[in-house]
Amino acid sequence: MAPPFTKPHIEDAQKRVRVLFNGKWLVDTTKAKLVWLKSYYPVYFFETPDVPKEYLISREQQDDPSATQFDLVINGKKADGVVQQYFLGELKDLVLIPFGAMDAWFEEEEQIFVHPKDPYKRVDVLQSSRHVRVVVNGVEVANTTKPRLLFETSLPVRTYIPKTDCRMDLLVPSDLTTQCPYKGVANYYSVKLPDDSLVQDIVWWYRTPQLECAEIRGYVAFYDEKVDVWVDGILQERAQTHF
């Protein structure tokens, strides 16, 4: 079955999945489940026997009437209420462990980040010769005929531009970073305009992207929703895919 799914949608995962917390493997299983609770991406659930009870302490107050919540304690390190074991509905006898509450996740021998990749989603990067101009509050900050276009299933096309075709004198490094399981860790720039106004965190780039997106390494992308983008002389509508 392919998306869109009726949620929750549950599939057997084909990978060995391991979850690390405070130096111990909390989970090590080949029976993990991919579960779509939302349309955008799946999360991992586990069968009850694959989550050792010795590390779990039941909480007196339960927030979800369909699940029992547990504190997780390993070697003195505690994560409050992060483990949920479901006893009703389609998720009965399955256990949810929030991705960000753990120290590390692995599929086979590869560490994964943010959330599992969606097997129904793909990412393609294509070299283009379209003429792209980016204007921020009336100031041109990028002008290229060598963009690389990133196509990601169900998301807007993103335009990545060589830094040599950008006004790098206007780009100010930001402390912000974000993570994507498909692209890697993004760093950000703000744009400081000639009038000294600062437009915060509207440019991002990947120093060391994931292999499937290696072609965008060192290129920058602008939030099309927040800037004016001209493609082959035509001003694009904001907040829409422009190719």
d(CA 205, CA 208): 9
pLDDT digits (tens, 9 = 90+) for 65-114: 788 999 999 999 999 999 999 998 999 999 999 999 999 999 999 999 99
Q: What is the pTM of this model?
A: 0.85
Among 2.170.150.40, 3.30.420.240, 3.90.1150.10, 2.60.120.10, name the CATH number for the domain at 9-112.
2.170.150.40
Has residue 4 got a pLDDT over 70?
Answer: no
User: Which CATH fold topology does 123-235 show?
Assistant: 2.170.150
pLDDT of residue 240: 53
Cβ atoms within 10 Å, residue 84:
20
Domain 9-112 identical in fold to domain 123-235: yes
Domains of the chain: which residue ranges?
Answer: 9-112, 123-235
Tens of pLDDT, residues 180-223: 999 999 999 999 999 999 999 999 999 999 999 999 999 999 99
pLDDT digits (tens, 9 = 90+) for 47-67: 999 999 999 999 877 777 788
- Sheet with strand 132-136: strands edge to edge: 139-144, 132-136, 228-231, 234-235
User: 107-135: per-residue pLDDT in tens?
Assistant: 999 999 999 999 999 999 999 999 999 99
Mean pLDDT of the chain: 93
Please report, in angstroms and rounded to a whole number, the separation of the first and last CA atoms in the chain: 29
Spatial separation of the C-alpha atoms in residues 171 and 191, rounded to whole Å:
5
